[in-house]
Amino acid sequence: MLATDSKLPITEGADKRAYVRQMFADIAPRYDFLNHLLSLNIDRLWRRRAVRALGWERKPDGSYLDLCAGTLDLAAALARCDGFHGRVLGADFALPMLQRGQAKDTPVIPINADALTLPFRAESFDGATVGFGVRNLADLDMGLHEIMRILKPGARIIVLEFTTPAWQPLRGLYFFYFRRVLPLIGRLFSKHMTAYDYLPESVLAFPEPEAFAERMRRAGFRDVHFTRQTGGICAIHRGSRGPVHEGV
Ligand SMILES: C[S@@+](CC[C@H](N)C(=O)[O-])C[C@H]1O[C@@H](n2cnc3c(N)ncnc32)[C@H](O)[C@@H]1O
């Protein structure tokens, strides 16, 4: 985690929850466009890799949950896999984001719900994904425990999240782009005054991949590991719920 002197609510708590929910509701109409523009379309590749890491082939007719599903792109990438004939639910607490996803006619069931208090019984899902969502949670540990609760024994969680590249000169270039260029482009196209300042600041405040992997282990996940993507701009984390319920 890197120190910032942010005035935005990037630390956990009720302020962050309210800010994040309203901010995504506000930027929903421009979210997909800006995602693809700002990442030069690499976000599509990361989502495909995240779906591959889920190992849904072990249960192609299973039930899967995409959390912080936004405009449903990650959920749809799973639902549209050749050979997949299960059920994919996409949960998000910002309704306008889900509505944008539904307008794309995705084969995903949208659920307007908070990832910290999911409306599902324990051990309901054969796997779960979170794309660029855990960083936004108002209580990361509570979110991880909630994911653990709704997974069946042996089921896998995949978390896709931004991180910062370690290798210079990519690191310097990345910081320049992320802190100086991206907020300007984001503000120009979204007309939102803070959303694209929140993005880099929340990434810098989020635990580095090693520390996040440790939080996953502490929440009770097994076989936790991660792979850095595209020079370390983001990471795909993987973990499994143990074979028996262990009181988490
Ligand atoms: C950066 S977007 C990611 C959307 C999508 N997963 C993707 O890959 O593009 C983060 C999403 O997480 C949602 N979110 C943040 N905290 C949440 C929570 N506690 N419960 C449900 N959704 C949440 C936001 O509303 C937003 O749609």
Structural domain range at position 176: 14-240
> What is the pLDDT, as a whole number, of residue 248?
45
User: pLDDT in tens for each of the 248 residues of the chain?
Assistant: 444 556 777 777 778 999 999 999 999 999 999 999 988 899 999 999 999 999 999 999 999 999 999 999 999 999 999 999 999 999 999 999 999 999 999 999 999 999 999 999 999 999 999 999 999 999 999 999 999 999 999 999 999 999 999 888 889 999 899 889 999 999 999 898 888 889 989 999 999 999 999 999 999 999 999 999 999 999 999 999 988 655 44
Nearest protein CA to atom 26 of ligand 1, as residue: 70
Distance 136 CA to ligand 1 centre (A): 7
pLDDT at position 38 is 87
Sign of dihedral through CA atoms 161, 34, 112, 205? Answer: positive
Interval between CA 30 and ligand 1 midpoint (Å): 15
Q: Which two tokens stand for residue 70?
A: 């936004």
Sheet with 234-240, edge to edge strand ranges: 109-112, 87-92, 63-67, 125-131, 151-162, 234-240, 222-229
Distance 70 CA to ligand 1 centre (A): 5
What distance lies between CA 221 and its chain's CA centroid? 17
- The count of structural domains within the chain is 1
Buried/exposed 64-79: b ≥16 CB within 10 Å, e otherwise: bbbbbbbbbbbbbbbb
Distances (CA, A) of 221 to 141, 184, 208, 229, 231: 12, 39, 18, 22, 26
Amino acid at 113: A
* One-letter amino acid of 82: D
- In angstroms, how far is CA 209 from the centroid of its own chain? 14
Q: How far apart are CA 37 and CA 107, in angstroms?
A: 25
Residue 117 confidence (pLDDT): 97
Residues contacting residue 167 through CB under 8 Å, at least 6 positions apart: 231, 232
Q: What are the φ/ψ torsions at residue 37 (nearest 5 degrees)?
A: -65, -50
The response to whether residue 132 sits with its C-beta less than 6 Å from ligand 1 reads yes
What atom in ligand 1 is closest to the CA of residue 137? Answer: 16
Tell me whether residue 193 is in a domain: yes
Q: How many A from CA of 66 to the centre of ligand 1?
A: 10
**pLDDT at position 6:** 66
Give the tokens for residue 41.
């379309």
- Which atom of ligand 1 is closest in space to residue 138's alpha carbon? 19
| Structure confidence at residue 168 (pLDDT) | 86
Taking the alpha carbons of 191, 193, 197, 202 in that order, is the dihedral positive or negative?
negative
Check pocket membership of 98 for ligand 1, CB cut-off 6 A. no
Q: Tell me, using a 6 A CB cutoff, whether residue 32 lines ligand 1.
A: no
Q: How far is the CA of 20 from the centre of ligand 1 (A)?
A: 8
24 within ligand 1 shell (Cβ under 6 A) = yes
Q: Measured between alpha carbons, how far is residue 157 from residues 75, 103, 129, 183 in Å?
A: 13, 27, 6, 31
Question: Is residue 92 in some structural domain?
Answer: yes
Which ligand 1 atom minimizes the distance to the CA of 24?
25
Which pLDDT value is given to residue 193? Answer: 87
Q: Is 173 inside any structural domain?
A: yes
In-domain check, residue 178: yes
Instruction: Identify the pLDDT of residue 31.
Output: 94
72 C-beta closer than 6 A to ligand 1: no
Q: What is the CA(183)–ligand 1 centre distance, in A?
A: 19
This prediction has a pTM of 0.92
Between CA 46 and CA 75 the distance in angstroms is: 13
Whichever domain contains 145, its CATH number is 3.40.50.150
**Any ligand 1 atom below 6 A from CB of 203:** no
For residues 79 and 106, is the Cβ–Cβ distance under 8 A?
Answer: yes
Q: Whose CA is nearest to atom 12 of ligand 1?
A: 68
Q: Is the CB of 114 under 6 A from ligand 1?
A: yes
Q: Give domain status of residue 168, yes or no.
A: yes
Question: Is 145 part of a structural domain of the chain?
Answer: yes
